[in-house]
Amino acid sequence: MAQALTRSEVRWNEKTIGALIILALLPNLLGMINLATPWGFQIHVFQAAIFLAALIFGRWAGLIAGAAGSIYVAAALSNPFILVGNAFLGFFTGHFTERGFGPVAAVLLAFAIQIPWLAVTDHFLMGLPWSFIGALILSLAVSNLVWAVAASWAAGPLRRFLGC
């Protein structure tokens, strides 16, 4: 399984820095894409890049990708708390991967940490109803699982391509 590199283990060069910049900005584009399911919820796509950043470059890259990659969605929804929630998601995905957890387990643990932030800020600060938040958590859980698997498959080849 892919294990995140710590900041000191990454061989930073033009390729790795460029890849991190792309992975930090890409979620803004991917945030515009939501895939409808026959079960009535949507698969969000933005997490794929956040998870790749966290799995390849570690917790701080996950934090950067989570925060920088959420600018579009946070602005579009007028919800600045999304930036912090996705920074948590990226940071803790990298953190748990660095601690030896597999990518899927790391993502699910990171999501478990993000859920209270999401629930409290969306309900008490943004005024969203609990029914909406419950559906959102379900949608994000499925999305996170799908993109955790995809990122775990892609991290190794991308890491080899980048030479890190």
Tell me, yes or no, whether 3 lies in a domain.
no
Q: Do 93 and 107 meet the contact criterion of CB atoms below 8 Å apart?
A: yes
Q: Evaluate whether residue 107 is within a structural domain.
A: yes
Give me the domain span that covers residue 21: 14-162
- CATH number of the domain bearing residue 48: 1.10.1760.20
pLDDT of residue 53: 97
Q: CA dihedral in degrees (42, 48, 51, 56; nearest 10)?
A: 170
Residue 4: inside a domain: no
Q: What is the pLDDT of residue 4?
A: 61
Which residues in the chain land under pLDDT 50?
Answer: 1
The reported pLDDT for the residue numbered 2 is 54
Structure token digits, residue 115: 């859920």
8 domain residue, yes or no: no
Query: What is the count of structural domains for the chain?
Result: 1
Q: Which pTM value belongs to this model?
A: 0.90
Residues constituting the chain: 164
**pLDDT value at position 6?**
54
Q: What is the pLDDT of residues 23-50, one digit of tens each?
A: 999 998 888 888 898 888 888 889 999 9
